Amino acid sequence: MQAKCPVCHMLVPPDQRALVYQGMHFAFCSEQCRERFQVNPHLYVGVPGEKAPKQQGAQVLKQRCFRLEVPLSTEQAQMLSDAIGTMMGIQQILIEGREVRITYDLLEATAEQIEQTIGEVGTQLGGTWKERMQRALVHYTEECEAANLEVSDKGHTHHH
């Protein structure tokens, strides 16, 4: 009997990364989903008579942009794209020159988790990349923030 990860709805063994919340047993597909649940369990578990946003099929798309001091090479951009792409909830990754734009579902991933992954890629790239990437994250541009797209199209839910 498989359990459903409450964050991304993937089927998992019932004892995988198990957690008990309010007397209910949950299993998770990944450490990322488990962490995401622990931060805001009410997004995934409703209250009697009211479903949680995730149970209603909600998606909260956010966009995060940052600008690097120097552009990534094609290989480096691919490495970053691959690492972020393996995360749950990532909708789109655009890397154009120095600009990196990531669209993600806030119900499945957090900016912090994305930043952690980017930091890990910076470490793999060696040299001063980790510091550069972290600086880019701290100083991600306000114009991107102003253009931040929060999709809340009530009647339409998109499933992959």
What is the per-residue pLDDT for 38? 92
Q: How many residues does the chain have?
A: 160
Work out the end-to-end distance of the chain between its first and last CA atoms, rounded to an integer number of angstroms.
Answer: 24
Q: Please name the CATH architecture into which domain 61-146 falls.
A: 2-Layer Sandwich (3.30)
Residue 24 has pLDDT above 50, yes or no: yes
Contacts of residue 89, defined as CB under 8 A and 6 or more positions apart, other chains included, come to 8, 36, 104, 105, 106, 107, 108, 109
The full DSSP string for 57-78 is T---EEEEEEE-SSPPPHHHHH
pLDDT, position 81: 93
Q: So where are the chain's domains?
A: 3-43, 61-146
Buried b (16+ CB within 10 A) or exposed e, 151-160: eeeeeeeeee
pLDDT digits (tens, 9 = 90+) for 39-97: 889 888 887 778 888 888 878 888 888 788 788 889 999 999 999 999 989 999 999 88
pLDDT of residue 144: 52
Residue 45 DSSP label: S
Q: What is the mean pLDDT of residues 127-140?
A: 72
pLDDT, position 69: 78
- What pTM does this model have? 0.66
Residue 15 pLDDT class (50, 70, 90 cuts) = very high
Q: Is the pLDDT of residue 143 over 70?
A: no
Q: Residue range 30-41: average pLDDT?
A: 92
Looking at the chain, the whole-number percentage of residues with pLDDT higher than 90 is 32
36 within 8 A of 5, measured Cβ to Cβ: no
Rounded to whole angstroms, how far apart are CA atoms 134 and 115? 8
